Amino acid sequence: MTTPGPDLGAVADLFVRAGEGVDQRIMLVQLAVIVCALAAGWLIQRAWDRRLLEVAPDAMSSARRFGQHGAKRVLLPLSALLLVLAGRGIVAHFQSVHVLDLAVPLLTSLAIVRFVVFALRQAVGRSSWLGMFEKFFSALVWGVVALHILGLLPDVIEGLESMSFTLGGQKLSAWTLLKGVAMVLLTLLVAMWAAGVLERRMAAASGLDSNMRLVLTRVMRALLTLVAFLVALPMVGIDLTTLSVFGGALGVGLGFGMQKIAANYVSGFIILLDRSLSIGNLISVGTDRGVVKEITTRYTVIRAPNGIESIVPNEVLVSSVVQNETLSDTQVALPLTFQVSYDTDLDRALAILVEVAGQQPRVLTDPAPRAFLASFGDNGINLRLGCWIADPQEGTLAVTSEINMEVWRRFKAAGIGIPFPQREIRILSPLSPDSAVQFPQSG
C-alpha cells in the first residue's frame, strides 16, 4: 500500500487566491468578521435552546415541533451567514473580501445539510439509530461539500485512491471503501424509512395481534438491512464473492461460539409467534414471578411485585415450565386457611369467612366465595376459604391481609377462639423415693 505525502499545493493556491492583493491585516479583519459572526450565531442558538426547554413537548403539535427543532439546526449557520453578508457589505467599501466570499457558500451549505439530515431523521423516526449520529452525518456530508466548494475534493479523492490494498484477488482503495460505507448508509437510511412506513401501517391495522406485529416489524428491519448491504456493496464495485471465504469462516466460528445467543434469538421469535407470552402477563418461571414488561428477541423482562426486574433469556422460557396466571383468563384462586377451636360453632365461623370475603372489593362475586371444613388438626379444626380475584398482577398480599384482619375482628367479636399449639404431659407412674436412681459419687 502506497501513501504519498500530503499535497499542499491546492491549499496554498487557495489561500494565495483568497489573499491576492491584500496584506495580513486585511486577512485578519475578514477572519475576525467570520469569528464574530459564528460566536453571535452560537449565542442565538443557545437562546433558542433555552426557549425550547420552557415549552412542554406535549403542548406542541407535530408540525410545530418539527418547525422549532428544524429551526434549531439552522439558526447558527443562518445567523452567521446573515452577519457575514452584512460584514462583507461593510468591509467591501474598504478592501477586497475574498475570504468572506468563501465563507458565504460554506455557511449556506452547512445550513442546508443540517436541515436535510434532520428532515431525514424525522422521516425515519426520532428514536432511530440516525438520531445518535445526526451530528456526525451532518459534519461528514458538509465536509465533502466544503471540499468541493474549496476545490480540494479532486486532490483528496486522488490521494485516497492511491492508498490501495488487495483482498482476495480484488484491489480495493480507501476511496472505494469510503464510497461503500456511504452507499451502505444511504441504503440503510432508505431501508429504515421503508420499515418505519410499514410499521406505521401495521400499527394502524386493528386485526393484527401485537406479538405478530412485533415479529413482522423486526423481521422486516432485518431483511431490509440485509438487502441494503447486498445492494450497496456491488454498486461501488466491491465483489461480494471476495468476502465469501471470510464470511464462511466467520459463520462457522459464530455457529460454535454463539450457540446460546442464537438459541435465545430463535426462542424469542417462537415466543412472539406462538403467543404464549404477552406484555402484562403474570408468570412464574423457576424462582422468578412477576409481570412481563418487555419481550425482545433475546430476553424477556419480568417485574416482580417488589419492583425488581429480572432479565430471563428466551431459551429458558421455551425449555422450562412457565406458569402463566393470565394466559387466557386473569381470574386466579386465593385460598386462605384458618384454624378454630373444637368448641366453635362451625356454621357461624364458615358464614363469617364468606361474609368477610364478599365485602372485599377485589374479590369476585362470580364465582362467589366459599368456606369449607378442611381437616381436623392437633390443636383445632382447619377451615379453608376459597375466593377469586381478577387482578393478580396487583399482588395478593394486600387483599390477604385485609381478609385476615377482618376475620380476626369478627372471630373475636363472636367469641370464636383461634387456638395455638398446646401439649399435655401426663405422668402415668411417678417414681417413689425408694426407687430413685442412685448416681455414684466421685471420691
DSSP string, 155-180: HHHHHHHHSEEEETTEEEEHHHHHHH
Whether residue 290 is found in the same domain as residue 316: yes
Q: Is residue 13 part of a domain?
A: yes
Residue 285 lies in a domain: yes
Task: List pLDDT tens digits, range 277-309.
Answer: 888 888 888 888 888 888 887 888 998 888 888
CA 86, chain centre distance (Å): 47
10 pLDDT more than 70? no
pLDDT of res. 8:
40
Residues 32 and 123 in one domain: yes
Instruction: Decide if 433 is inside a domain.
Output: no
CA distances from 96 to 5, 18, 146, 244, 398 (A): 33, 9, 22, 59, 83
Average pLDDT over residues 176-184: 73
- Return the number of other C-beta atoms located less than 10 Å from residue 43's C-beta: 12
Tell me how crowded residue 323 is: count the other CB atoms within 10 A of its CB: 10
**Comparison of pLDDT for 343 and 436, the residue scoring more:** 343
Q: How far apart, in whole angstroms, are the C-alpha atoms of residue 357 and residue 391?
A: 16
DSSP letter assigned to residue 59: G
Domain span at residue 39 reads 1-162
| Distance from the Cα of residue 218 to its chain's centroid | 14
Average pLDDT over residues 238-254: 61
For residues 150 and 40, membership in a common domain is answered with yes
End-of-domain residue from the set 128, 162, 196: 162
Query: Residue type at 394?
Result: E
Supply the pTM of this predicted model: 0.44
Distance of CA 274 to the CA centre of its chain: 23
Q: What is the pLDDT of residues 336-384, one digit of tens each?
A: 999 999 888 999 999 999 999 999 989 988 888 999 999 998 888 999 9
pLDDT digits (tens, 9 = 90+) for 49-75: 777 766 655 555 666 666 666 777 777
Last residue of a domain, one of 141, 162, 183: 162
Provide the 10 A C-beta neighbour count for residue 436. Answer: 8
Neighbours of 175 (CB within 10 A): 18
CB 124 within 8 A of CB 192: yes
Statement to judge: residues 10 and 153 lie in one domain: yes
What the block records as the C-alpha cell of 145 is 461539500
Q: Is the pLDDT of residue 319 over 70?
A: yes
**What's the pLDDT at 221?**
73
Same domain, 283 and 403: no
CATH number of 274's domain? 2.30.30.60
- 113 vs 119: CA distance, rounded Å: 10
| Residue entry with cell 370475603 | 357
CA 337 to chain CA mean position, Å: 44
Cα separation, 370 vs 333, whole angstroms: 11
Provide the 3-class DSSP secondary structure of residue 283: strand
Rg (alpha carbons) of the chain, rounded to whole number:
39
- pLDDT band for position 434 (cuts 50, 70, 90): low
Q: Which of 162, 185, 213 is where one domain is finished?
A: 162
pLDDT of residue 9 exceeding 60, the answer is: no
Q: Do residues 314 and 352 share a domain?
A: no
18 and 120 housed in the same domain? yes
Inside any domain, residue 51: yes
How far is 185 from 282, CA to CA, in rounded Å?
A: 41
Residue 151 lies in a domain: yes
Higher pLDDT, 179 or 212: 179
Residue 226 CA to its chain's centroid (Å):
22
Instruction: Say if 409 falls within a structural domain.
Output: yes
The answer to the question of residue 410 being in a domain is yes
Q: What is the CATH number of the domain that holds 386?
A: 3.30.70.100
- Do 274 and 341 lie in one domain? The reply is no
Q: Which residue has the higher pLDDT, 212 or 154?
A: 154
Angle (CA) 99-105-109 rounded to 5° is: 140
| 248-277 pLDDT per residue, tens | 656 666 666 567 777 777 888 788 777 778
Asked, for residue 182, whether it belongs to a domain, the answer is no
All cell numbers assigned to 426 = 401426663
Same domain? 338 vs 313: no
| Pair (15, 107) in one structural domain | yes
Q: Are residues 300 and 370 in the same domain?
A: no
Q: Does 304 share its domain with 398?
A: no
Q: How do residues 79-135 score in pLDDT, each as one tens digit?
A: 888 888 888 888 777 777 777 777 888 788 778 877 777 776 666 655 455 555 666
63 residue type, one letter:
A
The number of distinct structural domains making up the chain is 3
